[in-house]
């Protein structure tokens, strides 16, 4: 250990990956010299909390500063140099050239082990007017201060957010919270493009109900700028213009790989820094972690950039341990588990969607169930839609998506992310021993119900079809009550023969149906229609299918023209 105790560990970048690497290295090696270089003024801050500070939910700016240089220095004996930018790496000599921005000088810093945590930068396309004083991106504390200052001083009434990913949706919510009329622009034909279309459509309904103007399937072409060099409107590819007093870009991020490329470190297929299981780059004395790095993506086993805080923290910790000790655990697979709040809704995902499964050529099926986040008879139950994606044949869980109220979505996604990590099947989900009491869940949890639905299909108890399935030529048996049918007629039944038979009357009215016709059972959510499908099969109907998610999800799915949703449902 003698060489380890004397080694100098230099870390480029702080925030999640760099700060985790530094503190883990110190905890496991008290005698190493640890130096952290940060080009900005803040070495460890809560970048995921920035929108909530702008909107006022986080009232104190100091709360964003997770750890100040003084803490690193006093508690961990880590030398923090803020305003010091790494310029180049000399791998042969093991030195890094650094610019001290404050002193306006350059110097060389030797290292025994180097950890790169440069993060990523917002994508700012070179378009007309994008450098206007009221066009902002949001990535660090300095960006946040500029946005907050503009809002406090200029008090804009209207704002446009470009990009409907996680940051974009959070900013829309927070700007609306400040009383601004907001518009949201997204090049893809849905908000939160990572989700399957019908799941994203639930969020779009929420946004519209909250007064947000949506421009999906329409990209950013530039900005109209007035004589004071402020943008007055965003120009879209369609030719539309949307006026506002402030504009926020949430288009995405690109990895800061310049330093790695200068040092001729190997990049991976998605242009992130390539690392091994200990976070070592193609140079074993140089490590990397965070948003600039590629991880092993669990659903495919291939390398992929997954710019999320959780993987960055875990990878940084492992890089710090190996840099300090030459040992330690290996980085596990990353599943892309993520979640966002959009006004009164919460949406999230883990693993594969049906959309991505189709793109990758995976033989996947899906089921959609609707459930409450806790027992329905206990006050305050919030509705939730859960979509489970699994491998056809084996039943191995491939991914999940959930959209619900403010509570319960995170719990189910965490359970399913854990199931993914351990390679569970849909049958395993039905056997999970989950915590239950009426204020917290149901005896048959939403996770159980999704597992039951998938197993029923795999076991041949029911055939399932997606909510946007064409029904022409089918016998459609609507099992809802007369009041439900009158209130929300079933959509997309052109060319189909529709029979309305409430489920509790089905056995007595079988003679009204043709057992020789291909038949689809429908209810509001998919539960009664499964019961109806089982009754029909027991009475000699051989071609019976259940519409996943029921009439409510069909209405949402058919309100979008975005391609097939995939999968099916049954319980």
Positions marked catalytic:
48
Whole-angstrom Cα distance, residue 234 to residue 129?
9
Provide the β-strand partners of residue 237: none
Whole-angstrom Cα distance, residue 331 to residue 298?
12
Which strand (E) or helix (H) includes residue 243?
strand 241-243
Helices marked H in 470-526: 482-487
Three-state SS at 191: coil
Which strand (E) or helix (H) includes residue 112?
none
Beta strands in 156-212 (DSSP E): 158-162, 181-186
- Hey, what's the torsion of the CAs at 314, 316, 321, 324, to 10 degrees? 180
Q: Give the DSSP letter of residue 490.
A: P
Whole-angstrom Cα distance, residue 350 to residue 335?
6
Whole-angstrom Cα distance, residue 507 to residue 479?
12
Q: Give the DSSP letter of residue 461.
A: S
Whole-angstrom Cα distance, residue 67 to residue 534?
59
Whole-angstrom Cα distance, residue 407 to residue 345?
9
Residues 6+ positions from 422 with CB-CB distance below 8 Å: none
């Amino acid at each position: 250990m003698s060489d380890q105790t004397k080694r100098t560990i230099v870390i480029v970048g702080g925030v999640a990956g760099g700060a985790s690497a530094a503190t883990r290295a110190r905890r496991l090696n008290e005698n190493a010299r640890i130096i952290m270089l940060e080009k900005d003024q803040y070495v460890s801050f809560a970048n995921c909390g920035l929108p909530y500070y702008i909107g006022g939910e986080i009232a104190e700016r100091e709360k964003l500063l997770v750890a100040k240089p003084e803490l690193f220095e006093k508690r961990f004996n880590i030398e923090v140099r803020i305003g010091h930018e790494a310029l180049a790496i000399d791998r042969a000599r093991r030195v890094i050239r650094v610019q001290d921005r404050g002193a306006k000088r350059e110097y060389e810093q030797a290292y025994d082990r180097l950890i790169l945590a440069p993060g990523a930068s917002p994508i700012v396309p070179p378009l007309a007017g994008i450098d206007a004083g009221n066009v902002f991106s949001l990535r660090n504390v300095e960006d946040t201060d500029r946005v907050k200052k503009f809002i406090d001083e200029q008090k804009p009434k209207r704002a446009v957010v470009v990009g409907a990913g996680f940051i974009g949706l959070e900013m829309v919510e927070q700007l609306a919270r400040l009383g601004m009329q907001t518009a949201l622009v997204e090049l893809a034909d849905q908000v939160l493009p990572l989700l399957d279309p019908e799941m994203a459509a639930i969020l779009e309904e929420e946004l519209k109900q909250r007064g947000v103007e949506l421009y999906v399937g329409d990209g950013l072409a530039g900005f109209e700028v007035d004589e004071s060099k402020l943008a007055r409107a965003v120009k879209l590819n369609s030719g539309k213009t949307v006026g506002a007093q402030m504009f926020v870009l949430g288009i995405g991020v690109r990895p800061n790989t310049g330093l790695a490329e200068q040092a001729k470190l190997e990049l991976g297929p998605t242009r992130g820094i390539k690392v091994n299981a200990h976070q070592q780059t193609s140079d074993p004395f140089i490590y990397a972690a965070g948003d600039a790095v590629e991880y092993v993506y669990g659903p495919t086993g291939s390398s992929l950039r997954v710019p999320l805080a959780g993987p960055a923290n875990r990878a940084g910790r492992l890089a710090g341990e190996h840099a300090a000790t030459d040992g330690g655990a290996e980085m596990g697979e990353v599943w892309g588990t993520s979640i966002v709040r959009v006004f009164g809704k919460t949406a999230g995902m883990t693993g594969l969607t049906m959309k991505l499964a189709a793109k990758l050529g995976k033989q996947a099926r899906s089921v959609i169930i609707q459930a409450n986040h806790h027992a329905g008879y206990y006050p305050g139950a919030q509705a939730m839609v859960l979509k489970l994606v699994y491998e056809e044949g084996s039943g191995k869980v491939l991914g999940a998506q959930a959209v619900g109220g403010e509570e319960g979505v995170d719990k189910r996604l965490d359970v399913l992310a854990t199931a993914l990590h351990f390679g569970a099947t849909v049958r395993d989900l039905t056997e999970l021993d989950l915590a239950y009491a009426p204020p917290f869940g149901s005896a048959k949890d939403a996770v159980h119900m999704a597992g039951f639905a998938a197993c029923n299909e795999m076991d041949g108890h029911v055939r399932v079809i997606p909510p946007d399935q064409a029904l022409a030529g089918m016998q459609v048996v609507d099992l809802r009550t007369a009041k439900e049918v009158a209130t929300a007629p079933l959509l997309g039944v052109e060319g189909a023969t529709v029979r309305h038979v409430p489920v509790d009357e089905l056995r007595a009215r079988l003679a009204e149906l043709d057992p020789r016709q291909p038949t689809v059972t429908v209810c509001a959510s998919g539960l009664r229609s499964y019961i109806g499908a089982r009754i029909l099969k027991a009475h000699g109907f051989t071609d019976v299918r259940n519409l996943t998610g029921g009439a409510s999800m069909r209405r949402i799915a058919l309100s979008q023209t975005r391609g097939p949703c995939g999968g099916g449902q049954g319980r």
